[in-house]
Amino acid sequence: MLDLRQIRNNPEEVQNRLNLRTANTGVYDLAPILKLDQAQLELESTRTSLQSRSNEIGKLIGQKMQQGATPQSPEITELKTEGNQIKAELSELEPQEREIKAQIEDLLLQLPNLPSTSTPIGKSETDNREIRTWGEEYKNTNPKILPHWEIGEKLGILEFAKAVKISQSRFVNLIGIGAALERALINFMLDSQIAAGYLEVMPPILVNSKSLTGTGQLPKFAEESFKCAEDDLWLTPTAEVPLTNLYRDEILSENQLPILHCAYTPCFRREAGSYGKDTRGLIRLHQFNKVELVKIVHPDTSEVEHQKMVKDASAILEALKLPYRVIELCTGDLGFSAAKCYDLEVWLPSMGKYREISSCSNCTDFQARRANIRFKQAGKKGTQYVHTLNGSGLAVGRTMSAILENYQQPDGRIKVPEVLQPYLKKDEIQPNCP
């Protein structure tokens, strides 16, 4: 959530930065918020004046009573009448103020985060900036490479048709060594991130509306998530939601920061608006596994912690010897809650291009305001909002797809990455491998 005071004091600057997110300037219009804010300030001023007069009347009545006036005297009666009128006016103003504040909050919740001043300016993903590439020597150059879904079905480790029977399209059954490879990847990713300093959490995967609102999925992206019909519960779209909301409505001490968490969870997304895209394979499923990284940090350290998070996610790809590149997203391609974001994209030889496997975002104080996560500095009055960061470390299915393609041999076998062999107890995957 954006700071209302910032909008009030610098509306042009805020509007200009919001406009950087889209080619259609004015999509995020601050005028309704500013109008409501002015009305709220006027009501607040009126209420303050009335309360001040009410307090003054109370003192006057006390003084006059001490001077000998009786409760029935005209001057006391007149003051009491005025006091009652003020109370009646105040009782009408209070619900008006609450309603206006609720309207302002509703509008603020629909505004995205402001892009960082260091975020490249652009209109779409074509304006994203490539920062670096890694692992060119590990690219599979076999011209007859099979897409991961074809080799996976040929090996008997991926099964899509029966998943449709069980559920619908965009689901998959992992069979035998396929299921084992998924578990191996999850365990390897968790072990690696724990070694990097993250504390593992196994959170609920059903989350309430406040949690989704806190991280920015609600209200704007309700259609992207799966909701339980009978409860205020949703299937989590990412472990970012429960991990960040562990600290919702809390005041932390400065010496608790930074807080680093990692978690494996299944993730659930409707993928609304993506129909016709990546209809085959593991790239865009309604249910997928992911290891997530979340940091709760001091504002002064968030940029450094962001770079460390990118390094932590990249380390998984490098350990697996999977070619990848790092992309800095432009203002027009930023996620809703992000002020700055780096995507890691893994090489998929069957497509001849890199595909996203992790997004590492610095959300600054945007989520902290929505979730009311603050910290107190020793020796200082008041509190500050923390900065929150999140990133995939990594999306497991997409990692598997990259392994099935980059480690694919001409005879159809799949070599198992060396770091996974202790987990999988195998050095290669063959057809009908148990």
Range list of H helices, 139-288: 148-155, 161-166, 177-195, 209-215, 240-245
Q: How many CB atoms lie within 10 A of CB 291?
A: 29
The active-site residue out of 97, 105, 318, 356 is: 356
Terminal-residue alpha carbon distance, the chain: 50
The active-site residue out of 182, 240, 398, 401 is: 398
42 part of the active site: no
User: Torsions phi, psi of 374, nearest 5?
Assistant: -125, 170
Q: How far apart are CA 3 and CA 146, in angstroms?
A: 51
Of the candidates 370, 363, 243, the residue with the CA atom closest to the CA atom of residue 299: 363
Q: How far apart are CA 18 and CA 402, in angstroms?
A: 36
284 part of the active site: yes
Torsion of CA 397, 222, 203, 248, to 10 degrees: 140
Instruction: Using the structure block, give the residue that is written with the tokens 């020793």.
Output: 378
Q: How far apart are CA 87 and CA 55, in angstroms?
A: 11
269 part of the active site: yes
The active-site residue out of 47, 183, 248, 284 is: 284
Give the distance from CA 156 to its chain's centroid: 36
* Residue 348 β-bridge partners: 353
Angle at 170 between CA 421 and CA 325, to 5 degrees: 55
Angle at 159 between CA 156 and CA 161, to 5 degrees: 135
359 part of the active site: yes
The active-site residue out of 269, 325, 369, 374 is: 269
The active-site residue out of 192, 358, 359, 361 is: 359
Tell me the torsion sign for CA atoms 142, 417, 267, 219: negative
Tell me the two tokens of residue 213. 């609102």
Q: How far apart are CA 382 and CA 51, in angstroms?
A: 26
Tell me which DSSP letter residue 70 carries. Answer: -
Query: Which residues are annotated as catalytic?
Result: 269, 284, 356, 359, 398
